[in-house]
Structures are given as C-alpha cells and as structure tokens.
Amino acid sequence: MRRVCALRMHADELEIDAPLVRRLVAGQFPRWAGLPVRRLQSSGTENAMFRLGADKVVRLPRLPRAVADIEHERRWLPRLGPHLPCAAPEPLAPGGPGEGFPWPWSVYRWLDGHNPVAGSLSRPEPLARDLAGFVRALRAVDPVGGPPGHRGVPLVTRDAPTREAIAQLDGAVDTEAVTVLWEEALRAPVRSGPPAWAHGDLSPGNVLVDGGGRLSAVIDFATAGVGDPAVDLIVAWNLLPAAVRGMFREAVGADEAEWARGRGWALSIALIALPYYERTNPPLAANSRHVIGQILAEAEEEA
C-alpha cells in the first residue's frame, strides 16, 4: 500500500472519490459492479488510485497533463513487463470518459507489497541488488521504436527550474552548497552510448517490497522511455543508504560520468519537488529533504 496524501496538490486537479469510481466501473464494466471500492493511501501526484475488490486497482488521472500517461502505460507495459525481474502493473481493462469524468482511466491487476521508507530498510543490501537488477533488465530491452523518455534528456534542460527552486528554498536549505553541486552535475559528460530504456521515476512511492524487504514490484511507468537512463540511479539517494550505494553502482555498471548525472537528477528532482509539495504532500517533501541531505553529506565526505 502506498503512503497517504489526501490534500489537493494542483490548481487544475479534479475531485475524484469512491462513489465516482463505483459509477464508472458499474457503467463500463458491469461484471465488476458491486465490488467494494476503496481509495488507496498514496503519495502519488498525478493519479488517484482505488482498490477494486481483492485483486484489482483503478488508476485515474488527477489533472490534464496526466491523461496521456494512461495510453502510454497501456501501450508499453505489455512490452516491458515480461522482461523485468519483478512484477509490473498489468492493464486489465481500459476505461473511458463517463459520469462527469472527462478522461480515460484504467483497471490493473492488484500487486501485493508496501512502499519502503528511506532510512528504515530492513534489508538494504538485497534490495540494492534487486533494484540494480531491475535497472539492468530494463536497459536490456530493445530500445528501437520506444518513446523518448521524459527524463532521458541532458541535465541542462533542468537548469532553469532547478535554479528557480533553489531561490525559493533560500533559508530552508544551504543554497550555496546545492548550487555548487548542481553546477558540478551540469559539467558531467553527456551520454555517448546508444539510448536505453529507463523507468524515469524510480522513487520510494513507485517501489513495492515484500515482507522480507525484497523488491516485489515497480509501478507507475508513466515516465518510462528511451534516452539517457542515468535518471534511474536516483534510487541510490532517495531510498538506499550510503553504505550500499557503491554496491548498487557496481551492480548497475555506472561509470563516473553516469553516476554524476544520476546524482544531478536526484538533486534536481528533490529541489524542485520540495517547495512545490511542501504543504500538500508531506511524504514527498520529506523524501526531498532526505535526498538533499544525503547528497550534501556525500559531497562533504568526498571533499
């Protein structure tokens, strides 16, 4: 189960509740009418999630920019899922507009597991190996014909919003130190190899682990695409402790330039998310602070 965020996060976000989902399901999938519908606790920012019965989940976009993600997952998950060493969302049925809801939505098979929490991992070493295996497997999928990754682009494309976020965080973080680290990341060599698949949002909220702390599933492939896969290294800072980062890096096979770009991505994502979600998504804001703190501490040790 994913952690809670019940507050409205975006100005253009729709109100979505369990009665609406019941009506949508009953009207478009009569065979599932009458199944219990329960909103899931979630720190997700783009979609609302509702459990449907015991073995299904309904995913609906909260806002206009998330609408295209529905078709994206319907198209690419069946191609990617069979190549992965853990479970991935399995689309069961495509929903459409209705009952006042204007956009497409999807029904998926339910995946067991819970979100890990940075700083509270029961088995960080096995999880680091599991995550590295997921990254390697995804990179091994044939990229020909794959969609451009939203985050498979050069870090410089994030420069303006990252610096804007740093300015907004004046007094809340060491802005001078994070600016130095951001500029170091921008100097890292760009990828010279062929494009590869990346998940694009490998964060704790999109990782599921079993009762033993091992990786059981990765969810939310809305940002999955082809490009520079360094972005998937962000999990080294947003979830894994410092003691196992080297193990993760070695298992993935990241060279110095790719590692630097991955750390730059982790820093940029955290800096931009923190001022935006500080009041509306406490779990995401807390993880952003965690990432910034981890990267600052790592840089101090390396100095």
| pLDDT category of residue 9 using cuts at 50, 70 and 90 | low
pLDDT digits (tens, 9 = 90+) for 107-159: 999 999 999 999 999 899 999 999 999 999 999 999 999 999 999 999 999 99
Q: Which CATH number fits domain 124-302: 3.40.50.720, 1.10.760.10, 3.90.1200.10, 3.30.70.20?
A: 3.90.1200.10
According to the model, what pLDDT value does residue 303 have? 75
Instruction: Report the amino acid identity of residue 17.
Output: D
pTM higher than the cut 0.85: yes
- Name the average pLDDT for the chain: 94
According to the model, what pLDDT value does residue 11 have? 61
- CB count in 10 Å sphere of residue 166: 20
Report the distance separating Cα 267 and Cα 292, nearest Å: 6
| pLDDT category of residue 5 using cuts at 50, 70 and 90 | very low
pLDDT digits (tens, 9 = 90+) for 191-230: 999 999 999 999 999 999 999 999 999 999 999 999 999 9
Architecture field, domain 18-109: 2-Layer Sandwich (3.30)
Of the candidates 156, 117, 113, 115, the residue with the CA atom closest to the CA atom of residue 238: 117
What's the sign of the alpha-carbon dihedral 142, 112, 287, 63?
positive
Is the pLDDT confidence value at 15 over 90?
A: no
The ranges assigned to domains in the chain are 18-109, 124-302
Ramachandran assignment for 10, one of left (phi > 0), alpha (psi -120 to 50 degrees), beta (any other): beta
pLDDT digits (tens, 9 = 90+) for 45-61: 789 999 999 999 999 99
Of the candidates 48, 188, 186, 209, the residue with the CA atom closest to the CA atom of residue 118: 209
Report the distance separating Cα 254 and Cα 225, nearest Å: 19
pLDDT digits (tens, 9 = 90+) for 241-289: 999 999 999 999 999 999 999 999 999 999 999 999 898 888 899 999 9
Helix segments in 47-149, DSSP class H: 67-80, 124-140
Over range 82-109, report the average pLDDT. 97
According to the model, what pLDDT value does residue 43 have? 52
